[in-house]
Amino acid sequence: MAGETFHPGERAVQDRAGVRDRAEHVGRGIGSVIPAVAARFLSDRRTIVVGAADHEGRVWASMLSGPAGFLATEGASTLAVAARPVPGDPLAAVLGGPAEVGTIALDPAGRRRMRLNGRSVPDGRGGLLITAEQVYANCPKYIQRRHPLDTPSAPELLDSGTRLSTRQQLAVTTTDTFFVATAGPDGRVDASHRGGHPGFLSAHGPDLLSWPDYPGNNMFMTLGNLELNPAAGLLLPDWETGGALLLSGRAEPDADRTVWFTVEQVVELAHASPLSWSAPEYSPANPPVAWT
């Protein structure tokens, strides 16, 4: 059963890294049922990141927000989300119908996270119902500790295009957290968290970014998807204002496991979330950043 947990792209990356046995051990913790402890964790969250592919096959990651309780389990394998993407979000139309989604719920204050991937449909009440296919927890590595602050304001589309502005490139190089969505060969989507000291995400111009793939849980779901499908979406939250920078493009890891991301689409939203967050307390697991 463990061998069936991973698709050929994931297994190929695990084999190159020499961690197949460890990956299969960790993979035994993946299930399709939402445990009671996970249900309680989700019910306390104020945000969830959702990744999906748009109607043209571009992959995006977006953040949905609400009061505590806007995430609730219904039965053993269904997550109800009482929110939809804000106007201007590339996933607003996509999540208006059935879609494969990957989600990650992050608790910055407690340095905890969990992932739930599956099939989403509108609930008829302005929210979503996600039938879980993969549910699992992640370790607290690379999560910066932050505490939420309510700063509600109307969302607004600030910018869209195909290249990053100078200001947006600065936002890239000063971020300490982003989320990446990828899709596997069967169309299933995964959303993952990346964290580090500012500068770990680099901008090499208006259309090329890179980041190191830090050691994690050895399952290599992101790199495994990229092994077979380079489409990827990045979400960079603006923790101070509730804004968000959404990028879609193509990601290719090199032999040193540095991921090179070619920007193809850019969307910037003001007040994408009604939350802002306190200044970070950096994770003790963050490696030093080598500035070049």
pLDDT category of residue 291 using cuts at 50, 70 and 90: low
List 193's β-bridge partners, or say none.
Answer: 179
Backbone angles phi, psi at 112, to 5 degrees: -135, 160
Radius of gyration of the chain (CA): 17
CATH class of 2-277: mainly beta
Rounded-to-integer distance, Cα 5 and Cα 268, Å: 35
- State the DSSP string of 121-161: EE-SSSSEEEEEEEEEEE--TTPPB--EEE-----EEEEEE
Other C-beta atoms within 10 Å of 86: how many?
23
User: Where along the chain do its domains lie?
Assistant: 2-277
Is residue 119's pLDDT more than 50?
Answer: yes
Q: Could you tell me the CA-to-CA distances from 65 to 17, 49, 111, 238, 242 in Å, in that order?
A: 36, 9, 18, 14, 10
pLDDT of residue 3: 44
Contact 271, 241 (CB under 8 A): yes
Is residue 138's pLDDT more than 90?
Answer: no
Average pLDDT in the 234-260 region? 96
Residue 30, H or E segment: none
Name the token pair of 139: 């370790």
pLDDT of residue 215: 87
Is residue 105's pLDDT more than 50?
Answer: yes
The pLDDT tens digits for 23-34 are 898 888 899 999
pTM of the predicted model, to two decimals?
0.96
